[in-house]
Amino acid sequence: MMKTYFVSDVHLGLQVADPAARERRFADFLRSLPEDTEAVYMLGDIWDFWYEYRDVVPKGYVRVFAAIQELLDRGVKVYFFPGNHDIWTYSYFEELGMTRLEQPALVEIGGKRFCLGHGDGLGPVPFGYRFIRAIFHCRLLQILFSMLHPWFAYRLGNTWSRHSRLSHNEHYVFKGEKEPLYEFVTEFSKSHKVDYYIFGHYHAEVDMALPNGARLMILKDWMESSHALCFDGSSVYLV
């Protein structure tokens, strides 16, 4: 059985800890995937801030893009979800050969049904968060932002993103049944047969059984160490 990998919240470009070392770790991880790898799902916030103009994209990340291209050249399918930090992806990743997905995405892998996504905005989240999320998904705002010179726009975006991270620097503790995401998966399970729910966003490692027997798994971030999941046809486990 071919293997499928899941990764989230690498936050490439975030000027916290050692960003260059984090990029090398991620590129090395992608290059280390074995020959029996069928697909990689990137579940959002791989980049800490991303905005692409029609003719301009952020500089850097050469190691990561080279590793992704090597996977694609091997025939490995690479899927990505926009997160809440790398929302503004348009066509560049797809031009490279990656496939964009929107949450919640139902996919069948090896006879098992997976519900995948970044995880933000799912369930009954507070109004304030929904309002901010709606602003960043607003097409008019994106058009206005595109009018800024890239030199200023990228500095503004990276400063905001770094401030957002530092203001939530403590380790998040997932509150189980009290979380909006838990409410989402329990409601979703009433109308869909799902074996595994896999998300990111919370920067916390979670693996819990749901009342219907499905598993809810949340990927930890890459701030301190590498973190990914693998499905080998029979089970999902940490790698």
* Domains contained in the chain, number: 1
Q: Residue 41, SS3?
A: strand
* Distance (Å, whole) CA 144 – CA 149: 11
* Distance (Å, whole) CA 142 – CA 136: 8
Residue with tokens 């206005």: 144
Q: What value does the CA radius of gyration of the chain take, rounded to a whole number of Å?
A: 17
**Which has the closest alpha carbon to 80: 107, 99, 63, 96?**
99
CATH of the domain at 86: 3.60.21.10
Q: And the tokens for 73?
A: 């050249």
- Using CB atoms within 10 A of its CB, is residue 146 exposed (0-12), middle (13-18) or buried (19+)? middle
Residue 38 in contact with residue 235, Cβ under 8 Å? no
- Report pTM: 0.91
* Distance (Å, whole) CA 135 – CA 11: 21
How would you classify the pairing of strands 229-231 and 236-238? Answer: antiparallel
How confident is the prediction along the chain (239 residues), in pLDDT tens digits per residue? 799 999 999 999 888 888 999 999 999 999 999 999 999 999 999 998 888 888 888 888 999 999 999 999 999 999 999 988 777 788 899 999 999 999 999 999 999 999 999 998 898 876 766 777 777 767 787 778 778 787 877 777 777 766 666 555 567 788 888 899 999 999 999 999 999 999 999 888 999 999 999 999 999 999 888 999 999 999 999 99
Angle of helix 19-32 relative to helix 62-73, nearest 10 degrees, comes to: 10
**Which has the closest alpha carbon to 185: 124, 133, 94, 227?**
124
Residue 48 is part of which domain span? 3-238
Spell out the alpha helix ranges (H) of the chain: 19-32, 62-73, 92-96, 127-136, 139-146, 150-166, 180-189
